[in-house]
Chains A and B, each alone.
Chain A
């Protein structure tokens, strides 16, 4: 049998159910490997001792009917975990210990999952490279000094480095799919309203959505089934009939219509991405899908729209960090001075930049010109998809306009960093489900991903297409454990 840490979630569950591996053995393997992998900097907070203890308790009284029986899982540090520090990658929450649990993580523990620890991420999920985290850069296990993507960079790195069998991230503009693409892993952003936002540190509430990240498509279907639930505690949680995503998973996608949007052929897109996309189209055909050319005419307006809507909502959401009820407090001459110093010392540069942009676009006299305008364009972007879905069942695009870049390469130019999300942002604006699956490598052998976008609430079709294409693509990450040498 191959090493425990390199098993997929599905294989690990099977072995635990067949009593070939105990929960405690699994927990020990992941903890041991994490101890040798500090250089990746995936963890902000380790929960190792508690995980070992709880896994033992599971073994003493196992329940194999659960969907995640005694499975150790590390999660992005944006999910509030009861009595375990939750930082959102920010200095302002450095000492924050929640007294409640997010619904998504609670769903995981209810099904037998055990918390391994909290994973690094861009500060308040604002970033595409994990470089805005207060807790330092994360190494991409693919190669040294390469970013793991972001904002769920600790999650993608931990997954690719076999430090956790699966993980969860959050995706506001691509923060699950882009890091998955950069690390040769699978990442799914569900339909807005599918997974509860309760207990997730808020960034942009009309866009934020939690989702699974995994080594293969089947694992994402298993995890989605656990985390997707209607929740009264989230006012935008939607009560729709959720599939049994893993048992309904099929590779039979014969006759499905897959759209290819011509507007995703952007200027300056590297040849390799274009080739990958073409290869993807061939794979989809091989799987029995019908390929149809479509148009999403407002695609190029998605990023500018996003960079009004997301900072506006962020500036409002982050107003709560004032040094009064929780989080960092700096001392000041008076109350206002205390607020200003706390926020200046507590927030990093990118967060300040976005709060400033958001405050500006919402400020008196500018609201109509920016925020209202952006909401109108958002409508047009959504209508593009609505029209496309009259003709097709799903849409196939590249996940990112490039492979992973070097740490520091783009950190001084915010706009070039934002362009990373050019293919993922429209999906958030329209609230649709989207998955990134590994589909090949570039000239440096860095992974590249393809994105499949579905109709609202149709995660099953997205998963099925991904599952079918995954078999044809047959991608395998080449991880050398360079950080242990």
Chain B
């Protein structure tokens, strides 16, 4: 992909890029799935490229459709004793903590 004068030209997404993105997305992919995804993503991006037709230099991005300023709330605890509830769905647990595979050797 080359960006010049605020117009971008899409170049096809290769297998290497797909594998890099899958690392960023933390989704493991085998070779066959990566190839299929590359094909799918290319056809989707070809379709997305249509946006290049539009000049948007002086357009404000729309970040939120709800035209309100975000509300503040008091910094107060509103729930109590929910440890059990929070831990209830953890895939591997003891009484007090979430458990993950060892991270420090």
Contacts and interface: CB of A to CB of B under 8 A. Distances in A.
A270 interface: no
A96 B91 CA distance: 10
B97 to A, nearest CB: 11
Interface stretch (A125-133, A151-159, A166-174, A338-346): A338-346
Interface in B54-72: 54, 56, 59-66, 68, 70-71
Interface string A318-335: 010011111111001111
Given A332-B101, A334-B101, A353-B40, A327 B91 contact: yes
B61 A304 contact: no
A415 B44 CA distance: 6
Interface residues of B, number: 52
Interface in A278-311: 298, 300-301, 303-305, 307-308
Contacts of B92: 329
A4 interface: no
Given A353-B40, A375-B63, A360 B13 contact: yes
Contacts of A319: 26
Given A356-B25, A357-B41, A360-B13, A206 B65 contact: yes
Nearest to A378: B62
Interface in B1-58: 1, 3, 8, 13, 17-18, 21-22, 24-29, 37, 40-41, 43-44, 47-51, 53-54, 56
Main secondary structure of the interface of A (DSSP, over half): helix
A444 interface: no
Contact of B44 (A307, A327, A352, A430): A307
Contacts of A353: 37, 40-41, 44
A341 B28 contact: yes
A236 interface: yes
Contacts, number: 163
B81 interface: no
Interface residues of A, number: 71
A373 interface: yes
Contacts of B71: 232, 235
Nearest to A371: B61
Interface of B: 1, 3, 8, 13, 17-18, 21-22, 24-29, 37, 40-41, 43-44, 47-51, 53-54, 56, 59-66, 68, 70-71, 73, 82, 85-86, 88-92, 98, 100-103
Interface of A: 95-97, 99-100, 192-193, 206, 232, 235-236, 238, 298, 300-301, 303-305, 307-308, 315, 319, 322-329, 332-341, 343-344, 347, 352-353, 355-357, 359-360, 363, 366, 368-370, 372-380, 382, 414-415, 418, 429-431
22 contacts: A97-B89, A99-B86, A99-B88, A192-B66, A206-B63, A206-B65, A238-B66, A301-B54, A303-B47, A304-B48, A307-B48, A315-B25, A325-B90, A332-B101, A340-B27, A343-B28, A344-B28, A352-B27, A374-B51, A376-B61, A414-B43, A430-B65
